[in-house]
């Protein structure tokens, strides 16, 4: 897996 974008919501 590559680093994902910042998904801090559910």
Partner 1 sequence: MNIFRFAGDMTHLASVLVLLLKIHTIKSCAGVSLKTQELYAIVFATRYLDIFTDFISLYNTFMKLVFLGSSFSIVWYMRSHKIVRRSYDKDQDTFRHYFLIVPCLLLAMIINEKFTFREVLWTFSLFLEAVAILPQLVLLQRTRNIDNLTGQYIFLLGAYRAFYIFNWIYRYFTEPHYVHWIPWIAGLLQTLLYGDFFYYYFHSWKNNKKLQLPA
Residues that bind partner 1 (CB under 8 A): 1-2, 4-5, 7-10
The nearest distance, CB 2 to partner 1, in angstroms, is 5
The nearest distance, CB 3 to partner 1, in angstroms, is 8
Tell me the two tokens of residue 9. Answer: 């919501």
The nearest distance, CB 9 to partner 1, in angstroms, is 7
Tell me the two tokens of residue 7. Answer: 């998904």
- How many alpha carbons lie under 13 Å from residue 6 in its C-beta half-sphere? 0
């Amino acid at each position: 897996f590559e680093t994902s974008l910042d998904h801090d919501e559910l």
